[in-house]
Structure formats: C-alpha cells, structure tokens
Amino acid sequence: MPNPHADHFYIDGSWRPSSTPDRLPVVDPASEEVFGAVAAGGEADVALAVAAARRAFPAFSSTPVAERIALLTRVGDLIERRAGLFADAMVREMGVAIGFAAAAQVPFGVAHVRVAADVLRRFSFIARHGTTATVKEPIGVCALITPWNWPLYQITAKVAPAIAAGCTIVLKPSELSPFSALLFAEVMHDAGVPPGVFNLVNGTGAVVGAALSAHPDVDMVSITGSTRAGVLVAQAADPTVKRVVQELGGKSPNVFLEDADFAASVGKGVLAAFRNVGQSCSAPTRMLVPAARLAEVEALAAAAAAQIVVGDPRRPETTLGPIANGAQFERVQAMIRSGLDEGAKLVCGGLGRPASLNRGFYAKPTVFSDVDPGMRIAREEIFGPVLSVIPYRDEEDALRIANDTVYGLGAHVQSRDLDRARRFAGRIRAGQVHINGPAWDGEAAFGGYKRSGNGREYGAFGLEEYLETKSILGYGAP
C-alpha cells in the first residue's frame, strides 16, 4: 500500500525529496497499526511549491477554456480507471467501508471533476452592461488545505474548480489520510498538467498549513476542516489580505414536522447521520421530533441502528468501519460519556467497541433520546456515529432549536406538505437545506452560515470563489 512517492512532494511537474528528515506515521484504524509514513514538509518545501505555482500562473491563466476542459476530462477519466486503487487507499488510511468507498467516496470525487468541466463549458467570463464590461479573472496561486474524512472528494471539490478558473495550486492534504492524495498527484501528472500548475506538499497544519496561509505569494486559501483550524488559517492569512474560503464544522438539524412520514424517514435519518461513520461536517446529527412522537421515533431509530454492520472495512457486508484515527475515537467516547453524565436517554450503543471487536477504533452506533438542547451532545460537533433525538413543542419551538447553534452548514426538513417544508427551510439559518431526502447534487452551493465558514463550494458557486471581478469602463458598444 505505501506509495513509492511517500518520501517526496510533487513540485513543478516532478517528484522531489522533502527538505526535512521528518516522517509522519500513518495508522490503519482497523488494526491500530502503523502501515506507512509520509514526508513532513517544511517552509522550504512550501516556498519551492509556491514559487513553481507563481511561475506557472501567467501562462496557465491565459489557456483557452477548451484546454482546461480537456485537462479536467482526462483527470476524471483517470480517477475512474484507478477507482479501485483510490478505494483501497482510503479503506487503509481512514477506515471507510469498501462498499461506501466504491459507491460514494470515489464516484462523488469524480463527479466534482465532471461538474467543474460542465460548468466551465457554459460559464461566461465577460458580461457587458452598456459600455462597461465586467470580467472574471483567475485569482492566482491557491493554497488548498483538505481534511481526512473525505480525502479524494474534498481534493477534487477544490482542485477541479481552481483548474477550471485558470488558477495554479499548492495542495496540502491531511497527514492522516495522505496516500489517496499521492495517488491524485499521480493522476494529475499522467493527465498532463503543466509543470507548476498543480503542486502537493504533505505535512502538518501547524507547519505546512501555516506557511501556506501566511505566504505573500499565495492569493487565496481554501480550507475544509474544523472551525478551530479555519480560525488559525484566517489569522495567518490576515496580514497579507488574501481571500480565505472556509468550509468548517456543523451540527445540522433534521427536523421532522408533525405530518412527516416517520416510518419511512426516521431510519433514513439515522443512516444519514451515520454515513461515513458520522464523520461528515454536514451530518444531520440532531433529529428534532414532536414530543408526542418521541417513543415512536426511539423505536424506529433503534431498529435502523440495529441493521448497521460494524466491522472490518475490507469486507463487503460491512456498512460502518472504524473511526478514522485514535484521537477522534477518544473524542467520540468522551462525548458519549458526556451524554450519559448529563442524563440523556441511551436508546442504543454507548461506550466502547462493539462486543465482537477487541481492537481497532470501532465505535457503537449510538442514539440518545430526550436530549436537552443545552447538552454538549446537542451543541458540539462529535464527528462520529452519535445521534441526538431532541423533542420539541410546536413548529416555532422546532425552528428555535434548529437555529440555536453556532453552526449553520446543513439542515434537513421532513414533511408531506412541500409548501410547508419550503417555508420552514427558508427560515433555517444554514447554507444548504435538504427537503425529504433528495439526491446529492454536485452543482448545489455548499458552505455555511455563522461559524461553519465563509464562501461556497460546488458548481458555478465554487468556480466563482477562484475568480476576481474586474470592471472595465468604456469597454465599447454593447
């Protein structure tokens, strides 16, 4: 599994050794064993990568749209051809179940590339208003900082629109799931990306992430990660007044209005909360239900959780693998303990591993009920398979609870009355709201209100984050 380029970075079109002797171990969360390591970059590596991106920018920013579409098409094709390699890497480095890797992690990653190409085909980089022209131009050198929970998906969500815009890139993937990123760098190379347009430097956020954020020749930073990490990036970027796009934490509500189809939707809500082992920033981990239906919801949620198969992520029957790393496993256990200590009703799950597993960062699918909105499990992002069922009195109370959070990334509304659901969705303070469990849409703007971040990703909205706006007055006749 360890990549032959693990001791190297991809800079200026070739693989180069790290400037430091330091290595970062990579742990298999299913066995808790170290199975590889990657180079830990330093400021010198960042400087080389940024310089390469800066040199490449003038030429790449002026390439014809057709060339960028062709490059993105090759990238998407190569990821699809190597889908098995990507899936295997993510199973090993962050414990995702092989079925979910093959059905979601890889295909959705490819979809971001396809969507970027489609958006680029129809995007207008110039608009005229009278004799004034408004021009959209690539912003410049972009530092892209990606997380461990959706490794390929988050890389393509940033790299694809940046390439579409005509920007050049330095990617810092998570040091906890680096091997899928190295595979992606191989794809970019084999797709024929010009030297310097795409660069990759592995390392920690404290060193590589901080150096990229502060670098005066970086024009933009896009980070997906915790709110704490997003704040640090923004602080480091502040002296150079660069653009910062942040997709950060969440505590998304799933609101069941009184007329919702509880029998059909509660189980789906549990699975949505536990998708990717609950390690999704937009996971709907607060289920808001009418107080009179609480017992019914508890039974439905317990039945859905009982169908989840926790185990070896390499087995096709597994639906929930381990938590991705030891630190996150301990965080999940601490939050479950908090729920118990604060008096939430444990419907299923609880502390420790499932009884059949004695090693690996496996957590029990856990449902708490009768959760008070002030409890830690109702307010803090857990990032694990833990669902809080919260009763409400009436629709206004449900809205108050849904919006009573420092986050505002995603939300869900369940109702048989579409007009009612639309009205409720319009009052939720979140960047993306799902009504009655719709299919994933790679063109729907994704990003948050409040401490969930700034800016948007996906589709035309994601492309525009990588563009500057220029007005040219006196441009000519309309």
Query: Could you list the active site residues?
Result: 247, 281
Contacts 24+ apart (CB under 8 A), 266-269: 266/297, 266/300, 266/301, 266/304, 267/300, 267/301, 267/303, 267/304, 268/304, 268/437, 269/301, 269/412, 269/414
- The H-or-E segment that residue 133 falls in is strand 132-138
Pairing of strands 253-256, 410-414: parallel
The residue to which tokens 């990606």 are assigned: 146
One-letter-per-residue 3-state SS of 72-121: HHHHHHHHHHCHHHHHHHHHHHHCCCHHHHHHHHHHHHHHHHHHHHHHHH
Q: Which residue has the tokens 């653009």?
A: 243
Coil, strand or helix at 374: coil
Task: Give the CB-side neighbour count of residue 179, counting CA atoms within 13 A.
Answer: 22
Give the residue among 437, 424, 108, 428 at the shortest CA–CA distance from 272: 437
Neighbours of 139 (CB within 10 A): 20
Kind of pairing, strands 243-247 and 453-454? antiparallel
Sign of CA dihedral 405, 150, 204, 170: negative
Per the CB < 8 A criterion, the answer to whether 218 and 211 are in contact is: no
Specify the DSSP element, H or E, that contains 402: helix 395-403
CB 371 within 8 A of CB 301: no
Contacts for 271 with CB less than 8 Å, ≥ 6 apart? 304, 308
- Confirm if 318 and 418 have CB atoms less than 8 A apart: no
